[in-house]
Amino acid sequence: MKKYITDFTVVGRRVYGDAYFAMELEHPGELPEIEAGQFVEVEVKGSREVMLRRPISVHDVDREHNRLTLLVQVVGNGTRRLSQIGEGERVSLVYPLGKGFLHGIGFVPQRPLLVGGGAGVAPLLYLSRCLTAQGASPTLLLGGRTAGLIASRERFEAVEGAHVHYSTEDGSLGEKGLVTQHSVFGKDYDAILCCGPTPMMRAVAREAVRRGVPCEVSLENRMACGVGACLCCVTETREGHKCVCKEGPVFTPQTLGWDNE
Amino acid sequence: MKLSTDIGKMHLKNPVMTASGTFGYGEEFSDFIDLGRLGGIVVKGTTGQHREGNPYPRMAETPSGMLNAVGLQNMGVEAFCKEVYPRVAQYDTNVVVNVSGSSIEEYCDVARQIDALERIPAIELNISCPNVKKGGMGFGTDPAMAAQVVRAVRDVYGKTLIVKLTPNVTSIVDIAKAVEDAGADSVSLINTLLGMAVDVEHRKPMLSTVTGGLSGPCVKPVAVRCVWQVAKAVKIPVVGLGGISNANDALEFLMAGARAVEVGTANFIDPAVTMKIVDGLEEYCDRHNIDDINKIIGII
Model confidence, pTM: 0.96
- Chain B hits for A240, Cβ within 8 Å: 52
* End position of a domain, from candidates A97, A125, A145: A97
Contact B31 A225 (CB under 8 A): no
Residues B83-96 pLDDT 10s: 999 999 999 999 99
Q: How far is A55 from chain B (nearest CA, A)?
A: 12
A–B: how many Cβ contacts below 8 A?
96
Interface test with A, best of B64, B100, B132, B268 (most A CBs within 10 A): B268
Contact A227 B29 (CB under 8 A): yes
Distances (CA, A) of B279 to A78, B105, B241, B273, B293: 30, 42, 18, 10, 13
- Chain B hits for A226, Cβ within 8 Å: 268
Give residues 31 to 70 of A whose Cβ lies within 8 Å of B.
43, 48-53
State mean pLDDT over B123-137. 82
CATH code, domain with A58: 2.40.30.10
Using an 8 Å Cβ cutoff, are B98 and B44 in contact? yes
Q: How far is A45 from chain B (nearest CA, A)?
A: 11
Same domain, A119 and A240: yes
Which residues lie closer than 8 Å to B171 by C-beta, 6 or more apart?
A: none
Strand partners, A136: none
ipTM of the complex: 0.95
**A231 at B interface, C-beta within 8 A:** yes
Give residues 252 to 271 of B whose Cβ lies within 8 Å of A.
265, 267-271
Same domain, A89 and A60: yes
**B76 at A interface, C-beta within 8 A:** no
Same domain, A92 and A117: no
Contact B66 A49 (CB under 8 A): no
A251 occurs within a structural domain: yes
What integer best gives the mean pLDDT of chain B?
96
Taking the C-alpha atoms of residue A259 and residue A53, their distance in angstroms, rounded to an integer, is 33
Same domain, A21 and A146: no
**Looking at chain B, how many residues does it have?**
300
Other Cβ atoms within 10 Å of B105 Cβ, number: 11
Same domain, A85 and A120: no
Using an 8 Å Cβ cutoff, are A131 and A108 in contact? yes
CA B235 centroid distance within chain: 19
- Chain B hits for A235, Cβ within 8 Å: 56
Residue whose C-alpha is closest to residue A145's, from A173, A125, A113, A122: A173
Other Cβ atoms within 10 Å of B298 Cβ, number: 18
Same domain, A247 and A118: yes
Q: Omega of the bond prior to B190 within 30 degrees of 0, cis?
A: yes
A107 occurs within a structural domain: no
Taking the CA atoms of residue B43, residue B44, residue B45 and residue B50 in that order, the dihedral angle to the nearest 10 degrees is -130
**B217 at A interface, C-beta within 8 A:** yes
Residues B137-191 pLDDT 10s: 789 999 999 999 999 999 999 999 999 999 999 999 999 999 999 999 999 999 9
CATH code, domain with A131: 3.40.50.80
**A241 at B interface, C-beta within 8 A:** yes
The residues of B assigned a catalytic role are: 129
State residue A261's pLDDT score: 63
Residue whose C-alpha is closest to residue B46's, from B137, B3, B109: B109
Which residues lie closer than 8 Å to B130 by C-beta, 6 or more apart?
A: B136, B137, B166, B168, B191, B192, B194, B211, B212, B213
Q: How far is A232 from chain B (nearest CA, A)?
A: 5
Same domain, A250 and A145: yes
Distances (CA, A) of B142 to B124, B167, B173: 18, 12, 12
Per-10-residue mean pLDDT for chain A, 261 residues long? 97 94 96 97 91 97 97 94 96 98 97 97 98 98 96 96 97 97 97 97 97 97 97 97 98 94 63
DSSP class per residue in A65-129: TTEEEEEEE--SHHHHHHHTPPTT-EEEEEEEESB-TTTTT-S--SSEEEEEEGGGGHHHHHHHH
Same domain, A182 and A80: no
A224 occurs within a structural domain: yes
**A75 at B interface, C-beta within 8 A:** no
Same domain, A124 and A245: yes
Burial B260-293 (b: 16+ CB within 10 A, else e): bbbbbbbbbbbbebbbbbbebbeebbeeeebeeb
**B65 at A interface, C-beta within 8 A:** yes
Q: How far is B262 from chain A (nearest CA, A)?
A: 15
Using an 8 Å Cβ cutoff, are A247 and A236 in contact? no
In chain B the domains, ranked by start, together with CATH numbers, are 5-53+71-196+214-295 (3.20.20.70)
Indicate whether B134 pLDDT > 80: no
Nearest to A227 among B64, B65, B271 (CB): B271
Q: How many domains does chain A have?
A: 2
- Chain B hits for A223, Cβ within 8 Å: 59
CA B138-B142-B144 angle, to 5 degrees, is 120
Same domain, A80 and A118: no
Distances (CA, A) of B52 to A158, A169, B63, B71: 45, 39, 28, 8
Taking the C-alpha atoms of residue A167 and residue B145, their distance in angstroms, rounded to an integer, is 62
A44 occurs within a structural domain: yes
The dihedral sign for the CA sequence B230, B235, B241, B247:
positive
A145 occurs within a structural domain: yes
A15 occurs within a structural domain: yes
Q: What is the CA radius of gyration of chain B?
A: 18
- Chain B hits for A241, Cβ within 8 Å: 52-53, 56, 73
Boundaries of domain holding A90: 4-97
Same domain, A242 and A124: yes
Same domain, A68 and A124: no
Residue whose C-alpha is closest to residue A24's, from A54, A65, A75: A65
Taking the C-alpha atoms of residue A193 and residue A216, their distance in angstroms, rounded to an integer, is 5
Interface test with A, best of B23, B28, B200 (most A CBs within 10 A): B28
Distances (CA, A) of A95 to A7, B228, B266: 11, 39, 17
DSSP class per residue in A23-52: EEEE-SSPPPP--TT-EEEE---S-SS--S
Q: How far is B183 from chain A (nearest CA, A)?
A: 31
Residue whose C-alpha is closest to residue B87's, from B37, B28, B39, B21: B28
Contact B24 A49 (CB under 8 A): no
* End position of a domain, from candidates A38, A70, A97: A97
- Chain B hits for A234, Cβ within 8 Å: 53, 56, 58, 73
A170 occurs within a structural domain: yes
